[in-house]
Copies of this chain bind each other. A is one copy, B any other.
Amino acid sequence: MKIASLVVAWMLIGAAICAEPRVNGERLNAHLEALAAFGKTARGGVARLAYSEEDRQARDYIASLMKGAGLQVSIDAAGNIVGRRNGRDPHLPPLVLGSHIDSVPDGGKYDGNVGSLGAIEVAQTLSEQGLTLRHPLEVIIFQNEEGGLIGSTALLGELTEILLDQRSRSGKTIREGVVFLGGDPAALEKVKRQRGSIASYLELHIEQGGILDAEKLDIGVVEGIVGIKWWEVTIDGFANHAGTTPMNQRQDALLAAARFIESVNRIVRSVPGRHVGTVGRIQALPGAPNVIPGRVVASLELRDLEETKIDMLFQKIEAEARAIAKESGTTFGFAPLHVNAPAPTDPRVREAIEKNVRALGLTSKVMPSGAGHDAQNMSRLGPAGMIFVPSARGISHSPLEFSRPSDITNGANVLLRTVIALDRGLSR
């Protein structure tokens, strides 16, 4: 053997040793297509409400993929799907990867699904490459993320009786939904985890905004998740015959609601910042063309990285509602429905993500998440981080949601390498 051949052989051996594993992007994207069949809509999107039949069928598919990836699969008492893989050191807390597969009523096929399948792909890659981490690895598919991060709320021990009795968009109460998914609402104490009980939490997700797409960047490193507050707004007027009640004698709840919706938009836009405010749901009762609406029930949502700003906006909106009520002969009631506190990610996790983005030759940007994620709950149990991949034209919660297969593969590779890095790094 010549010296040159020896050098080449040595270089090949070195490359093999130094090469980090890569996920199978083709398989990952094929799984994403297959998952999209559950709850597929005519417009090419996904309607897979938590606790629906579509949700249950998709979860069965997910559980089969997890088993195929060498994970031990179980349904916890809250109805989350948990896949576990032992580490070399049984005394270490788990590294947790997670996301969700439930959707909004007319959503897309990427939101939640990319992170769920990305996490499973990471487990499968580790399994195929015979890599055993020091920490146990857990993949958690949280139930009912879109209805208020229900699955991860249970891990905090905060899935209260009041929440359990709330009706979800499927028509079932959350309590009924937990049972429907194979959980046990009476045994929720078992799923509660303590702060420090996880080594780290990582979630891969589509950005759902248009920043990465517009700036042609590969990866978003999430600095924090905005706080979200929801209210149920009830406007009471007086239902009456639309033909016989003169215009000046009406107490039209829908007219008051229209003025309210307009004022929410005006107030939110009048204050500088990245906060947003939305009325997304509305019902007028009794709801007939020939009856003046006597009651309107609508939703109000406000989001910002600062909770104080949310509260300030709400106070302005409430004051305006009082003025509308007065001049329209109606009353407004605001019932707080749902609160997520703003959640910063862990700087060490962000650093690990950024280092591996660079090692993969990818570009990235540190950015907030305008959307809520289970990561914000998990950040209260241990150091958490999120990896964003671009959303084409920033479209999400829509059948037109799209992320390129290559971007999804990049995201899963960043997830894989970051898990391996955190497995090493968190030992220090």
Contacts and interface: CB of A to CB of B under 8 A. Distances in A.
Contacts of A372: 243, 290
A179 interface: no
A188 to B, nearest CB: 25
Contacts of A230: 289
Given A244-B209, A372-B243, A104 B286 contact: yes
Interface string A333-368: 000011000000000000000000000000000000
Contacts of A246: 209, 274, 276
Contacts of A279: 254-255
Given A105-B286, A259-B258, A276 B243 contact: yes
Contact of A286 (B106, B249, B293, B370): B106
Interface string A253-289: 0110111111001001100001011111111111111
Interface stretch (A51-59, A378-386, A390-398): A390-398
A289 B228 CA distance: 11
A221 B295 CA distance: 33
Interface stretch (A74-82, A91-99, A234-242): A234-242
Contacts of A281: 284, 287-289
Nearest to A268: B247
Given A209-B246, A278-B290, 14 more contacts: A146-B288, A169-B288, A207-B244, A208-B241, A228-B290, A240-B394, A240-B397, A241-B370, A242-B280, A246-B276, A255-B262, A278-B292, A290-B397, A291-B397
